[in-house]
Amino acid sequence: MTKLLLGRYLPGDSWVHKLDPRTKLMASFYYIGIIFLANNWQTYLLMFVATMVMVAASKIKLGFFLRGVRPMIWLILFTVMLQVFFTKGGTTYWSWGWLAITQYGLTNGAFIFMRFVLIIFVSTLLTLTTQPLSLADAVESLLKPLRVLHVPVTELALVLQIALRFVPTLMDQTTKIMNAQRARGVDFGTGNLFQQMKAVVPLLIPLFVDSFGIAEDLATAMDARGYQGGDGRTKYRVLQYHQKDIFAGLVMVALTVSLVFLRA
């Protein structure tokens, strides 16, 4: 639980940290979108190199990212195995009934694995280099035109900010509950799948109780401070685009052109 990086912010002064949060948010969604354009080894190698360059520019150690991906490795491997065993085509290396390992299955499995890892890296990089408050401000700024349609943009940004802020808190609280349950003799790592799922049940009730307690305390604090939504409120941090944001946009355009050129 403590190794899950999503929602955690690491202070720094790198080039990625200094980008406008709107630029990082749009670039992250755009990058995740163009990952699905990759369809061969050349394009995936290009996306892998681009991701490693972004990680290096953030001055965050690669080993830190790998430890963060580890909690999701079983989900990734499960998806990869589905691709390997159920994708037919090309040379058949092994078969048993309706299961088969083929050339296309192995290729698609490798592509799916790289796609998952790249998406996790980019998503994690966004939250590691952007404060939750800045990220919420970016969402509110980008969705501002929807106010014409009476969309509660400020409330949506507030919900996002609270969610990102309390993801690490809930993860830490889950770890504490697990340690308390272990001290009472609960073993979360032994037995079959059903037994392990049953062992997780004692975590749910105290975690829900703590979550509602945190929500109630937060609501009381907001009410005591007179929170009335975003109408008439000013911003302490004013978002502004700079030359490095324009450069980041040009890099994304160049990456897209290269990706289209290398597609089969």
Residue 106: is it exposed, middle or buried by C-beta count within 10 angstroms (0-12/13-18/19+)?
A: middle
pLDDT tens digits, one per residue of 202-230: 778 888 888 888 888 988 988 898 877 66
> How does pLDDT run across 54-64, given as a tens digit for each residue?
999 998 888 77
Please indicate, yes or no, whether residues 85 and 212 belong to a single structural domain of this protein. no
Q: From the centroid of its chain, how far is CA 256?
A: 22
Q: Which of 116, 17, 120 is nearest to 68 (CA)?
A: 120
What's the structural domain count of the chain?
2
Q: What pLDDT digit, counting tens, does each position of 47-88 carry? A: 999 999 999 999 888 877 777 677 778 888 888 888 888 777
Q: Are residues 168 and 126 in the same domain?
A: no
Domain hosting residue 227, numbered range? 132-233
Are residue 197 and residue 78 in the same domain, yes or no? no
Alpha-carbon distance values, 58 to 47, 50, 136, 190 (Å): 17, 13, 20, 39
In what helix (H) or strand (E) does residue 94 lie, and over which residues does it extend?
Answer: strand 92-96
Are 198 and 259 in the same domain? no
Whether residue 182 sits in one domain with residue 88: no
Same domain, residue pair 125 and 139: no
Q: Is 227 left (phi over 0), alpha (psi -120 to 50) or beta?
A: beta
**Do 89 and 177 have their domain in common?**
no
Q: What is the pLDDT along the chain (264 residues), one digit of tens a residue?
A: 445 565 678 888 899 999 999 999 999 999 999 998 888 889 999 999 999 999 999 988 887 777 767 777 888 888 888 888 877 777 777 777 777 788 888 888 888 999 988 998 898 888 888 887 888 888 888 888 888 888 888 888 888 778 777 777 787 888 888 888 778 777 766 666 676 677 677 778 888 888 888 888 988 988 898 877 666 677 777 788 889 999 999 999 999 999 999 886
Do 216 and 257 lie in a common domain?
no
